[in-house]
Structure 1
Amino acid sequence: MQDWKALWRHGRRHPIETVISLLVIALISWAIWASGSWVVQAADWSVVGSNLPLYLSGSYPESERWRPWLWVSLLTVLTLVTLLRPTKGGRLRWLELALPWCWIGMIPLGLGLLGGGIALSAVPSRDWGGLSLTLLLTACSAALALPIGVLLALGRNSDLPVLRLSSRLYIDLMRAVPLIAVLFFGQLLIPLFLPMQLEINRVLRAVVAFALFAAAYVAEDVRGGLQSIPSTQTEAAAALGLSPIQSLRLVVLPQALRIAIPALTNQAIGLLQNTSLMALLGLVELLGIGRSLLANPAFIGRHLEVYVWLGGLYWMFCTAMALLARRIERDSPPLGGHTA
């Protein structure tokens, strides 16, 4: 009751602000109501429901679609286990030790399942597509961009002039070039410089292009974390008898990476969203599937349904990545020390 009285008094003292606030609330309410009515009543979701296998795996052979479906399912389960596991170890201490290795193993597992190998029939990368290709591009590019970015950040902070200047030149060059230009170079121009006998598949070229581009931004994020570590940390490490390399590896770099987690999360989310650019260069990832379906005469005019569905998928996976990063940040040891 007191809150309502306070709001009433505030409204009488500031009538213009109150009117504007009520108009904004009414506009938001109308937008939510109109959107909900369209989703439930007016939209035709047959373009989504009848093509769910295509959204997930693209033109992957129908008899082998269980392979990308299995990988995406394992990723989903691993994400839920990571988010829902107890904060404190206790009897589940083994789970905390196993989860990082499970995440690391998802990349070679995805490559093995999609590409085939020892006991699985080989499937060329031109048949990969849909959500599984989007997630694979993101995971492989991020796994490659992080170590390269860390090395670039260390190189830019190095006392060696050649290493420092070359790292700075690479970072400035990549940040000055649009991503689509880097992808175009990776997809269309790199094969022209290779011998005729050597052929790199399009997925690998896309991964390398994404990683080289993202590494420049990762380097700046890590460099910001390195600069935030006080010099007393390295002085204390030296007093304990640690060498400069040991001090960097055991004291400075772990703290810098923890500080950089929010910025690195933004880079990972941006990387997931930027994979949609590959639809312009021939790889049929998630957005490419939507574009190909809209070219089907049976689904002409269903643009809004397709893009709302794709927007919902991107939102769901970007939110999951943000929650995972928040969980990692919360579980990391506090700055300046380690948890017992």
Structure 2
Amino acid sequence: MATLKDVAKLACVDVSTASRALNDSPCVHPDTKARVYEAVKKLSYHPNLLAKGLRQGKRHTIGVLVPTINLSVFAEISQGIEMEARRLGYETVICNTMDDPAAEKECLNRLRSSFQDGLLIAPTGSNSKLIRDIKESGISVVQIVRRQDDHISSVVSDYRESGFKGAKYLVGRGCRHIGLIDGSMKIIPYRERYDGYKEAMAELGYEENFVESPVVRGDYFKDGYDGTNILLDGNPDLDGILAAADMHGIGAIRALKDRGIPFPEKIKIMSLSGHSIGGMLETTMTSMEMPSVAMGKKSVQILIDEMDGPAEAVPSKQHVMFHFSLVERETT
């Protein structure tokens, strides 16, 4: 990793001049600044902004990277993060990645260079090296919802349990042909939900009906809508749908209405990652509810514990797992 000394050497200036140039000091000639900036670009230099912040006083700002805050558990998690951060004297900056690895990388680099004291991220798994580099540079990082790297602290829920108990619940409601509309298997919560569903179906001796949505999602509702049609076309006897999240479930409801299929009379629907919106629908949705606000608050507490630890100490990793709770509503 390039240092300020490397930048100064390439720009043919001393370290103090390079530092003043990067701080836009009027004492540095414009031509010298231009050489320093060019050296920064060539070396891909990232200053240790956390160390600088500690010398100048913390910025008291936390960067948050989530796929979306649109009608999802991430909206409530972000609310929990903001509430707890504000209580502890921190502000938050939120970036929506839409689970696009390129957008995630851009957000990480932008937050890394904007004086964040720490980062909370729901990672896609595609930028693990960059995230580790950021952490090794001295910026605290905690994973939320998705534990993609065992070497970085995390706050997650038991997604396998959600898939297993969700499938068992629908069987208890009389379903025998249960389909799962899930996300990309490259993202751990979706994979673990599938594993739980698969385990339950195998234990009960029932056939799997599984749809995997795209890696990069711009429209969860459409994923749910299209996934339902795929399930119905593949199995006309379908009598139960497990949706990875509420937005998938809402898309499934619309698909059933468009086909004139009554629910829950013919097909029962439930979400495996529910939040408050499920109770506000015209036909309220049964779900495995995630304690999203509590998860957001806990992630902030762990992050600040790491940030407030001695600079020379390596913070111990914390992996916290929350459990889902079943909330029965009208769709089952």
- What range is the shorter-chain TM-score in? under 0.3
Q: TM-score, normalised by structure 1?
A: 0.25
Q: Comparing both structures, which one devotes a greater share of its residues to helix?
A: 1
